[in-house]
Amino acid sequence: MNKQALVENIKKKKSFLCVGLDTDIKKIPQYLLKDEDPIFAFNKAIIDATAPYCIAYKPNLAFYDSMGVKGLEAFEHTVAYLRENYPDQFIIADAKRGDIGNTSELYARCFFEHTKVDAVTVAPYMGEDSVKPFLNYKEGWVILLALTSNTGSLDFQMFEDKAGTRLFEKVLDTSKKWATDERMMYVVGATQGKMFRDIRKHVPTHFLLVPGVGAQGGSLAEVVKYGMTDECGLIVNSSRGIIYAANDETFADVAAEKAKLVQAKMAQSLSEKGIID
Amino acid sequence: MNKQALVENIKKKKSFLCVGLDTDIKKIPQYLLKDEDPIFAFNKAIIDATAPYCIAYKPNLAFYDSMGVKGLEAFEHTVAYLRENYPDQFIIADAKRGDIGNTSELYARCFFEHTKVDAVTVAPYMGEDSVKPFLNYKEGWVILLALTSNTGSLDFQMFEDKAGTRLFEKVLDTSKKWATDERMMYVVGATQGKMFRDIRKHVPTHFLLVPGVGAQGGSLAEVVKYGMTDECGLIVNSSRGIIYAANDETFADVAAEKAKLVQAKMAQSLSEKGIID
C-alpha cells in the first residue's frame, strides 16, 4: 500500500489506529483452545470485530515464533486472511529484524515475498546495508526503530555526541537519506510525549508508528499534539488494551468497543487538525 | 553449556571454530532437493563432517525463517540432532532479536525452552529491558551485537560522545553490568582488525563471537593477535567459506577439509599463546 492510499484510508475511516495482534496462547479465552488453530481463531474474531475502527494490524512476530511451527502457520493464516478480506488494511510485521546485507535480504524475502505484508519493523544498529534489502521491494515499507517506548530506550538511544545530537536523531538523519517518506516510517513510542517535537524537526513528513498507548501508559493527546502532520503522519498502535479487554465469549465485542472508543478520539483529533471535516 | 566447559572443549579440540549453518536452499547441492527435508539433510552432512574440527554451530535464523514452516522445522531438527549426537557443541541461534521486555521474554522462551540452544544473538538498540529476559535462563547466554562485520557498522556503532566514547563502547560498558562474562558474550566482526584492542579494554575476559573471517575478508591472525585472552575468549565463525566450498557429492568432505585447515591454524594460535601445549 502506498502513502497516498494510507492517507486516504485514514481520512475515510477517521482513524489512525493499528491493532496489535500480540496473540499469546496463555491469554486468549480458554474455550478457543478447542479450535484446531486457536491463535488464528482469536485473530480472525478480533479482526472481524475491530476492522471498521482501524487502518492497520500489527502482528508481533515474537508471539508467533515462540509457538514454533504452529505459531508460524497462525501468522501466515492471519496475514492471508487480512489480504483476502480486508485489502484496505495496512499489515505490519513487527519483527525488529536486521542483519548483514545478504542475510537481511532473506528476511525481506520472507516478509515481502512469502508472507506479503506491507511493512516490516527493522532495528537500525547494523546500519545501511542491514536495512537496504528491505527497500528493494517496490511495495514494501521499512519501519525503523528510532525512539522506542520501553525504559531501556534511555540506555543507548539518548547517547549524545559533542554537538548534542542524540543517537535516535542520528538514526533519523542518516536513514532518511536511504529512502523517501513513501518507503520509510519510524517507530516512536507514545511514552516519549514531548519528544515528538524533536522527532518532527528531523522527519517532518514521515509516518510514525507509535506503540505504547494503553498498557504502557503513553498519552494519545500528547502524541497528536506534538506528532501529527497535515497528512496525519501517525499510526498509533494498541495491543493489550484492545485484544485482551475481555477474556470470555464477549472478547471480540469488547475489543470492538475499545477500538471504537479510540477511533472516536482519533476522529476528533483529525477533525480538530482539519484533516477531515 | 557454561564457560568452563566451553574453554575445556576449546583446549581439547584445539579449535575455536564455529561453523555457520547459513543454509540456503538455492545454494545446496541440487541432488539433495530429492530429500524430504533438504535443509536438514545438508546440515546433518555438514555437522557429521565438520564436528571434529569445531566447537560450535551457528544457524542464522534468517535462512530458516525465509522458508516458512519447512525452514523452521529444519532449524528445530538441526538443533535436536546436535543436542543428541554432539552434546559438546555450543549451539548459537543467530537471531539478532530484541524487543520490549514482555516480548523479548517470548523470544527467550522460544530459543531456550522450546528449541534449547545455548546462546542467542541479541541487538542492543532497545536497551536493558530488551536484553534481560534472555538472561533469565540459567544455562542461556546472550551474545550482544557490539561492533559488527558489515560496512553499515560505521553508520551508528562509531557514533561518538564528547568524551570520545563510541556507541559500541557504550554498549559494552553499560551491558557488562547486566550479567557476568559467564552469561554474556559480544559480537565483534573479524573485519574490525585492530579494533579488538579497543574492545579488550572494555571487556578483557568476555568471549567474543567473531563473524567475518572468510567470505567477508577478515583476518584470523589479527583477531588472534588483538582479541585472544588466556582462556582463548574467541569463537570465530565461518559460514560460506566452509559449507559452500563445494557444490556436488563431495560437499561434506570438502567442508571437512576447509574446517580442518582453519582448525590447524587455530591450534597453532592456541599453542603460541600457551593455552594448549
A116 an active-site residue?
A: no
Q: What's the CA gap between B226 and B147, in Å, rounded?
A: 15
**What is the least distance, in Å, from the CA of B222 to any CA of chain A?**
21
Q: Is A12 helix (H, G, I), strand (E, B) or coil?
A: helix
Looking at this predicted complex, what is its ipTM? 0.95
Mean pLDDT of chain B: 95
- pLDDT of B19 higher than 90: yes
The answer to whether A170 contacts B156, with C-beta atoms less than 8 Å apart, is: yes
Contact A75, A82 (CB under 8 A): no
Interface touch B123/A98, C-beta < 8 Å:
yes
Catalytic residue among A11, A70, A96, A260: A96
Question: In which band, very low, low, confident or very high, does the pLDDT at B229 lie, cut at 50, 70 and 90?
Answer: very high
How many residues appear in chain B? 277
Residue B33 burial (C-beta neighbours within 10 Å; 0-12, 13-18, 19+): exposed
Q: Kindly give the pairing relationship between strand A17-21 and strand B184-188.
A: unpaired
| Cβ–Cβ below 8 Å for A151 and B129 | yes
CA distances from B221 to B127, B148, B227, B239 (A): 33, 18, 10, 18
B29: nearest Cα among B243, B256, B254, B249: B249
**pLDDT given for residue A218 in this prediction:** 79
pLDDT at B134: 97
Per-residue pLDDT band at B197 (split at 50, 70, 90): very high
Q: Please enumerate in sequence order all residues whose Cβ is within 8 A of that of A235, keeping only pairs 6 or more positions apart, or say none.
A: A16, A17, A18, A55, A56, A90, A92, A185, A207, A208, A209, A210
Interchain pair A127, B65: CB under 8 A: no
Please check whether residue A164 is in contact with residue A133, taking contact to mean a CB–CB distance below 8 angstroms. Answer: no
Average pLDDT over residues B239-249: 95
Q: Is the pLDDT confidence value at B33 over 80?
A: yes
Note whether A68 contacts B110, CB cutoff 8 Å.
yes
Nearest by CB to residue B72, choosing from A63, A69, A170, is A69
C-alpha cell belonging to residue B43: 546440515
For residue range B128-172, what is the model confidence (pLDDT) as tens digits?
Answer: 999 999 999 988 999 999 999 899 999 999 999 999 999 999 999
Q: How many residues does chain A have?
A: 277
Q: Is the pLDDT of residue B192 over 80?
A: no
Closest CA to A96 of A146, A140, A27, A170: A146
Cα distance between residue A207 and residue B94, in whole Å: 31
**Mean pLDDT value across residues B7-29:** 97
Q: Is B207 left (phi over 0), alpha (psi -120 to 50) or beta?
A: beta
Contact A57, A242 (CB under 8 A): no
Contact across the interface for B125 and A123, Cβ inside 8 Å? yes
In a structure prediction context, what are the per-residue pLDDT tens digits for chain A, which is 277 residues long? 999 999 999 999 999 999 999 999 999 999 999 999 999 999 999 999 999 999 999 999 999 998 888 999 999 999 999 999 999 999 999 999 999 998 999 999 999 998 999 999 999 999 999 999 999 998 899 999 999 989 999 999 999 999 999 999 999 999 999 999 999 999 999 887 789 999 999 999 999 999 988 767 778 999 999 999 999 999 999 999 999 999 999 999 999 999 999 999 999 999 999 999 8
Residue B130 with chain A: CB contacts under 8 Å: 150, 152
Residue keyed to cell 562474562: B181
Chain B contact probe: residue of A24, A100, A105, A120 with most B CBs at under 10 A: A100
What's the pLDDT at B217? 76
Pairing of strands A234-238, A17-21: parallel
Q: Which domains does chain A have, with CATH numbers?
A: 3-272 (3.20.20.70)
Is the CB of B156 less than 8 angstroms away from the CB of A148? no
Among B97, B115, B126, which would you mutate to test the A interface (most chain A Cβ atoms within 10 Å of its Cβ)? Answer: B126
Contacts of A130 in chain B (CB under 8 A): 150, 152
CA end-to-end distance (rounded Å), chain A: 24
Cβ neighbors of A172 (< 8 A, separation 6 or more) are A146, A186, A199, A202, A203
Lowest-pLDDT range, A258-272, B60-74, B85-99, B262-276? B60-74
CB < 8 Å to B24, chain A: 106
Picking from A123, A129, A150, the nearest residue to B150 by CB comes out as A129
| Beta carbon pairs, A and B, within 8 Å | 182
Query: How far B44 CA sits from the closest chain A CA (Å)?
Result: 20
Q: What percent of chain B has pLDDT over 70?
A: 100
Nearest CA in chain B to A153: B126
| H-run or E-run covering A110 | none
The β-bridge partners of A237 are: A18
Q: Would you call A167 and B149 a contact, using CB atoms and an 8 Å cutoff?
A: no
Angle between helices A68-85 and A38-50 (to 10 degrees): 30
Phi/psi at A97 (5° precision)? -85, 180
Mutate which: B25, B99, B154, vs A, most A CBs within 10 A:
B99
**Yes or no, beta carbons of A128 and B151 under 8 Å apart:** yes
State residue A269's pLDDT score.
97
Using a 10 angstrom Cβ sphere, with 0-12 exposed, 13-18 middle and 19 or more buried, the burial of residue A124 is buried
Of B69, B103, B159, the CB nearest to A167: B159
* Entry pTM: 0.96
Q: Are B100 and B111 in contact (CB under 8 A)?
A: no
Long-range contacts of A166-173 (CB under 8 A, 24+ apart): A167/B156, A167/B159, A167/B167, A168/A199, A169/A198, A169/A202, A170/B156, A170/B159, A171/A124, A171/A144, A171/A145, A171/A146, A171/B156, A172/A146, A172/A199, A172/A202, A172/A203, A173/A202
Instruction: Write out the H or E segment, with its range, that includes residue A117.
Output: none
Report the candidate in B38, B41, B94, B90 with the shortest Cα–Cα distance to residue B235.
B90
At A219 the pLDDT is 87
Q: Which residues of A touch B115 (CB under 8 A)?
A: 68
Query: Min CA distance, B267 vs chain A (Å)?
Result: 29
Residue A192: predicted pLDDT: 77
| Residues of B annotated catalytic, as ranges | 96
What pLDDT sits at residue A68?
A: 85
Closest CA to A14 of A228, A238, A260: A260
CA-based torsion, A98, A100, A103, A104: positive or negative: positive
